[in-house]
């Protein structure tokens, strides 16, 4: 199964944070699953780090190593994702989360997120 990680799910997974939902943790850990991280999530994290709104316990550059160590794939932003984004209702206002939702819907894959607003969209949420 292909799945998309929300930004916080990625951070909580690589840090072993207990706030990561048990179903999400099991889904990520299942070796046969293809777990993806959107380039939009890395963009969001880079912005938050640069604005001092997010403090990481390691340099931002180490996140690339985490992708390799945890065998996570990167999901690029494609035009089809942006087309769907223009049609999404505004249940959620965060532009990065809206893009992740559009990507998950467009790709037909579930998203691993603890954000309750994601459930207002036609996407499977695993947490």
Provide the sign of the torsion angle of the four alpha carbons 19, 62, 55, 34, taken in this order: negative
Q: Hunting for tokens 């499977």 — which residue is that?
A: 124
Beta strand 111-112 with 125-126: parallel, antiparallel or unpaired?
parallel
Please give the pLDDT value at position 52. Answer: 96
Quote the CA–CA distance of 20 and 70 in Å, as a whole number: 16
Question: Quick one: 2-126 is in which CATH superfamily?
Answer: 5'-nuclease (3.40.50.1010)
| pLDDT tens digits for range 100-123 | 999 999 999 999 999 999 999 999
In the structure, what pLDDT confidence band is assigned to residue 76 with cuts at 50, 70 and 90?
A: very high
Q: Alpha-carbon distance 39 to 22, whole Å?
A: 24
Residues 113/114/118/124 CA torsion (nearest 10 deg): 50
- The pLDDT mean for the chain works out to 96
């Amino acid at each position: 199964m292909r799945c998309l990680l929300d930004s916080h799910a990625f951070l909580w997974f690589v840090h072993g944070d207990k706030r990561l939902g048990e179903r999400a943790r099991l889904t990520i850990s299942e070796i046969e699953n293809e777990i993806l991280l959107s380039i939009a999530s890395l963009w969001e994290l880079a912005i938050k780090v640069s604005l001092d709104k997010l403090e990481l316990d390691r340099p931002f550059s180490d996140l690339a190593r985490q992708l390799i160590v945890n065998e996570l794939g990167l999901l690029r932003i494609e035009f089809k994702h942006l087309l769907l984004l223009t049609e999404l209702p505004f249940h959620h206002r965060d532009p990065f989360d809206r893009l992740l939702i559009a990507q998950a819907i467009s790709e037909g894959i579930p998203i691993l997120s603890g954000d309750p607003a994601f459930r207002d969209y036609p996407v499977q949420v695993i947490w």
